Structure 1
């Protein structure tokens, strides 16, 4: 058996395949980000958070909007305070993820926090706990496709709960 150090036609094929996969993934991430920002922007405008609705287009501040949507407070100042506290917790957990063993726990906490506030958003849209849990499960199973479709439907309607 001889081994050649020259690239073969298979190397070019798999390299090209990887590049196509990478470009498709990047395009899906950009499309998902734009659709999510559109949902957050219109939901904020519709539900009285118009003064901070433009934050939907800024990468870290759109998470702030998710926390504001899930808030149970009534005044704008209280909503902003609660959302800021949870944003700082979220950022802190994201930084702690770097630490080897504690990072796993921080990752789990980030997922739980994100799912809880997504549940709160679905609850505010539907007004029913069971439907909100079902919608979270559908969002996970469909890889967020359900969230995008349902969010586009509900983004211009006021919260029920």
Structure 2
């Protein structure tokens, strides 16, 4: 174990309250509402699930993005302090993409992204590929995880891209 509260923000000092989720998802009424067999026991970290999904962990999706970017818009986003899927990791594989627009994308200006006048991160875009680096404190305190409840923030977050 790393001792880090979360792999999505290595600077956080407050641990995630996973036990609240685990307790909630093990309530009989919640299971019934979700159509889950009552004998099922939800665990935050399950060795059984981990073993089954092991082959899918850390598999590159670069080839999928290379295909999609030719036919549709692609949005990539990472948190500034994301240890698992961070800005640097994404930049490395994006620069290695086989796509006719990759040189222009890499050379495209990184624009400052603000929501309601507050710095939220930066956006880099070329044609159908957009990459967003999000400030973690904005994500957790004012942003993406809370923006679902604030229609104006959600719309600005989506339409800026």
Q: TM-score range by the shorter chain?
A: under 0.3
In our comparison, the structure showing a higher alpha carbon Rg is: 1
Q: TM-score, normalised by structure 1?
A: 0.27
With normalisation by structure 2, the TM-score equals: 0.27
Q: Greater relative contact order (Cα 8 A, min sep 6): structure 1 or 2?
A: 1
